A and B are shown apart, each in its own frame.
Chain A
Amino acid sequence: MTYFILEVEDLWKSFGGLTAVSGYQLKLPPDSVYGLIGPNGAGKTTIFNLISGIIKPTRGKIIFKGKDITFWRPDQVVALGLTRTFQNLRLFSSLTVEMNLKIASHLHARCNFWSSLFSFPSFFREEREIKKRVDYILEVFDLVPYREEVSSNLPYGLQRKLDIARALMTKPQLVLLDEPSAGMNTQEAEDLAELIRRIKEEFQLTLIIVEHRMSLVMGLAEVVQVIDYGSVIAMGSPEEVQNDPQVIEAYLGTGDVVA
């Protein structure tokens, strides 16, 4: 039997009368990169919200690393090694780049309240470790010069990078990237694709990427799922999916180009 790091079975979500996700399925092998595409409002972000525990499904089952996480809280899900980034960036905007990263080290900090209060040596040891990890992540993401910068003052492309960097501070195995290249120019998006390739190797990640920029998702993903009205209408390699008549149909008139 093959092992899947993430299995989603028959996932449904309705908001009042609107069914945003209807019967979504996924079997995600470890170390893979999957792409999730589909027209605006197809339900991609909602699927991420469900998997990461931010909202609860109406029906269905989510299994991560063999554990049924369907009704877990987001912080419990992250603790098991699954994290995500946000489509509309949710940086801690009035805090510095360094602070954004430090906050995300929370899960791996063990120091208790009293040793923090009285600055026991264990507190300093742990803070030094956190700083080391921050330095390393800043290095990987080329953000060293911006360490002290307030995150909302960063150029947009760098904010996107910081969002991914911050997610990696939690030491995840599976990362859900929600439109990582949104708002970037072509050059930035190309650099980002390269960066994603690099961090995938470096941190041994499994990735699911939601993207509207086809060049990016087709270049990175091994398997692409196409979502429309909350369910998978096509799935396969980027080439297969691009030539699928149903997919072309779904994208017709939406302004998005499959290319």
Chain B
Amino acid sequence: MSLLEINNISISFVGLKAIDSLSFSVDEGSTVGLIGPNGAGKTTVFNCIARYFKPDQGQILFRGEDLLAFKPHEVIEKGIARTFQNMELFRSMTVQDNLLVGQHSRVNTGFFINAFSLRKKKINESQIKDKAAAVMDRFGLTPYANSRVISLPYGIQKKVEFARALVSEPKLILLDEPAAGMNPNETEEITELIKQLRSVDGITVLLVEHDMKLVRSICDEINVIDFGRKIAHGTPEEISRNPQVIEAYLGRQEENEYARA
């Protein structure tokens, strides 16, 4: 059964059609790749799912529910967590506090309970701190728990954002280029962590990534988009042999080379 279903969505920005009648679905428990050349519209798809943008047309269903009826801050309550391509961390806060904010939707204490630090708050706080500690441990972030995010190296920050998405215990996680800018070692670690999402937590993953080796090694199926349109769908083998995909990537490369010359 498909967990997430994207039906024929389109969105345009001042004349530019960023997504054009795009449909695909993500099965529960699977790891699905969403790839395409720069500017293809991958991040825009994420932003539509996370409700930052409202598609001009089409439908997004999550577990059969219409996602477009919800506000951005309600998406995580539904069970969808995301990371951002350009990282949207809380940079002045510690790593631990970032992971506590990650569990914001899991805590339902009212204002006065918090203002007067009643027992319920204390119980809640220790629960979410335990959860954060567990995730930090798994991501190797424990030594940085009390460091401010802004003081950490880029690779660690990337991991913090990943951990922050995971700590909310989502059903579906959207990863936007989790390995961008990472060295081979770090990429290896990230690959392992993404694999664990399925094997340990049973979380469904929708992955945007330019590193094809990574994508091929973990995705069950891949959707390829270009200029906002879906140009191919299939298993990693099928995709790597698809002439249209090769054309889209190579064509773009030639263009780039032309532009550079």
- Do A and B come together as binding partners? no
